[in-house]
Homo-oligomer: A and B are copies of this chain.
Amino acid sequence: MPKETPGRVRRLRAAMAREGFDAIVAFKPQNSFYMSGFNPIIYSHPVVAILTPEGSDALLVHALRDDHAREASFIADIRLYGAWSTKKTMGPSWRAALKTILAERGIEKGRIGLDLDFISVARFREIEAELAGAEFADASDAIMQCRSVKDEDEIENARAAGEIADIGMDAAILALRKGGNEREISLASMAAMSHCWADRYPDKEVADFGNLEHGIQNGMFAWVLSGDRMFLNCDNPTTKTPQKGETAAILLWSVLDGIHTENERTVMIGDVSQEKRRALEAILEIRSEVFDMIRPGTLYSDLFNAAKTGLETRGYGSYIPGRIGHSMGLGAHEWPSIDAATNIPLAPGMILAIEPNIRIPGEVATQISDTVLVTDEGCEFLTKSEGGLLQA
């Protein structure tokens, strides 16, 4: 049964026509999934999505991925390279197969948009050698701009991923209150998220986009940094048990059909210093000021500057972070960033992780983040965990 081409692909096709590309040929796992609906999980054999302005799209995969691609992709024209059992393929080389696919469409010497923010120099040289006469342009910006505004099905996945992340946060806080160490808290949270997916979402996947040397079967991740370990910002959880007087950060990502949410909370363990409490209270106020500004037309940099001003007016002007959040989608850290230099207006359908925080080296660290959807009038919280001053 042919599957419907999603709106995002039609938008990307329009962008391609505006840019004067005869095709977009994408290799980045997030991008080939975006353009085809196929995530093979393992990318050690290239997966190549080919989009043309008039819709003669094709998906080129290794013979090993044939059945899976046919089952998952909304592109009907699946092509094979390589060798496996009885599969009929276009030959051993994906480069030669790509050339044939483009030649069939009369564009083997056309203007080809590639995701050059991903394609390695070594691979690009192979493509150039195979497609002598073609003109290559960078399609990365066009793809990332398209990805930055989500379709309704992506938003539904984000809402569900947010609910799963909230369940993960509840499980983490429970494990923390029971006296678990960083690893025990993290594993309890990941198990809760995974079981929620397994029980409630029979038609969804939690696979993620790996690198070219392996793959990710399950992108539900939680980690915990307690006490001074908060200054590491990101680290694998240890056997350290959060202690009284410390703050602990619980950080988690959930994913559903490729769409991510982020949920981070800082918990005070028993009585913490006035300095720590005051920083947490300041961050809660600053977050509220930033959330109030989220609506179509506000610039990413406006959000950063509001947080910066909020830190300055509360005496934290020496501790300004480089950014106060980032976009989310098929990437958990997706373009664009919320920083001083990003003068891009918010638009409905964008999904952001909002995380202004304070780091006073060796003294105070806060880590709170929520994922929100930009709506016509403001924002919708996709993560809704208990906020405020969390106490364990």
Asked whether A190 lies within 8 Å of B210 as measured between CB atoms, the reply is no
Which of chain A's residues 191-242 have a Cβ closer than 8 Å to chain B? Answer: 191, 194-195, 197-198, 202, 205-219, 221-223, 231-239
Asked whether B332 lies within 8 Å of A233 as measured between CB atoms, the reply is no
- Give how many copies assemble into the complex: 2
Which of chain A's residues 23-74 have a Cβ closer than 8 Å to chain B? Answer: 29-30, 40-42, 44, 62-65, 67-68, 71
Task: Given A124-B121, A184-B198, A233-B68, verify A85-B320 contact (CB < 8 Å).
Answer: yes
Binds B, one of A5-13, A111-119, A151-159: A111-119
Asked whether A214 lies within 8 Å of B333 as measured between CB atoms, the reply is yes
Instruction: Specify which of B44, B84, B361 is in contact with A321 (CB 8 Å cutoff).
Output: B84
Q: Which chain B residues border A68 with CB–CB below 8 Å?
A: 232-235
Asked whether B318 lies within 8 Å of A213 as measured between CB atoms, the reply is no
Question: How many residues from A make CB contacts under 8 Å with B?
Answer: 85
CA distance A213 to B197 in the complex (A): 22
Closest to A337 in B: B44
Instruction: Specify which of B140, B221, B320, B330 is in contact with A216 (CB 8 Å cutoff).
Output: B221
Q: Which chain B residues border A348 with CB–CB below 8 Å?
A: none
CA distance A122 to B322 in the complex (A): 23
Q: Which chain B residues border A237 with CB–CB below 8 Å?
A: 217
Q: Is A134 interfacial (CB 8 A cutoff)?
A: no
Q: Is A376 interfacial (CB 8 A cutoff)?
A: no
Which of chain A's residues 231-281 have a Cβ closer than 8 Å to chain B? Answer: 231-239, 253, 260
CA distance A85 to B187 in the complex (A): 31
Chain A residues within CB distance 8 Å of chain B: 29-30, 40-42, 44, 62-65, 67-68, 71, 82-86, 114, 116-124, 138, 140, 183-184, 186-187, 190-191, 194-195, 197-198, 202, 205-219, 221-223, 231-239, 253, 260, 318-322, 326, 330-334, 358-361
20 pairs, A vs B, C-beta closer than 8 Å:
A30-B211, A41-B235, A42-B234, A62-B322, A67-B231, A68-B232, A68-B235, A84-B359, A85-B318, A85-B359, A119-B120, A122-B138, A183-B198, A186-B217, A187-B191, A198-B239, A202-B238, A210-B210, A214-B219, A217-B223
